[in-house]
Amino acid sequence: MNHATPVSVVIVAAIAANNVIGADGDMPWRLSTDLKRFKSITMGKPVIMGRKTFESIGRPLPGRANIVVTRRQDYAPEGVETAASLEEAIRIGADRALSNGADTLCVVGGGEIYGLAMPLADRLHITHVLCEPDGDTVFPVINPELWAPVHEKRVEAGEKDTYPTRYVIYDKKAL
């Protein structure tokens, strides 16, 4: 757990082999198996995302406090809280987590938010999608000097998945 917040900051992402995570405001794959895992990881915990990610989802994720980071002061979709910065979103998320008995908040995208969150995160839940699609949004490089894999599972493509994946949990190394 980092010292800036009383809860763990966890990043949850699906990343292609070339670090692509998005194309034209959507994910460049269909991974039903991974969406089920995403739901199990994030359910009951606050989720933090950027405005574009929220708009690509199209609605608040049920069963979770949704916090959207946006520079637009007049942005106020129903069912979400907004924050002007990632730091503010993490403060709000930590409050929501503690009041709901959770010890974790989840950062769920997109690219810019992931980049800002990497130095603040304690753990990464990464689905490595075994493909190299074209895309316009990428995930920051996971530096092996800073992050250690602590769990790994290969997942064959199910009938509703476009690619096989490798699910890895990374913990930040104590430096």
pTM: predicted TM-score of the whole model, two decimal places: 0.95
Query: Considering Cα of 148, then 153, then 158, then 164, what sign does the dihedral take?
Result: positive
**Domain annotation covers residue 133:** yes
**Domain annotation covers residue 2:** no
Q: What is the pLDDT of residue 6?
A: 85
Q: What is the domain range of residue 67? A: 8-172
**Domain annotation covers residue 38:** yes
Give me the number of domains the chain comprises: 1
Q: What is the pLDDT of residue 2?
A: 47
Cα–Cα dist 128/118, whole Å: 17
**Domain annotation covers residue 3:** no
C-alpha angle 103/145/97, rounded to 5°? Answer: 10
Residue type, 109: G
**Domain annotation covers residue 1:** no
**Domain annotation covers residue 145:** yes
10-residue averages of pLDDT along the chain (175 residues)? 75 98 93 96 98 95 97 95 98 96 96 97 98 96 97 95 97 91
CATH value at residue 83: 3.40.430.10
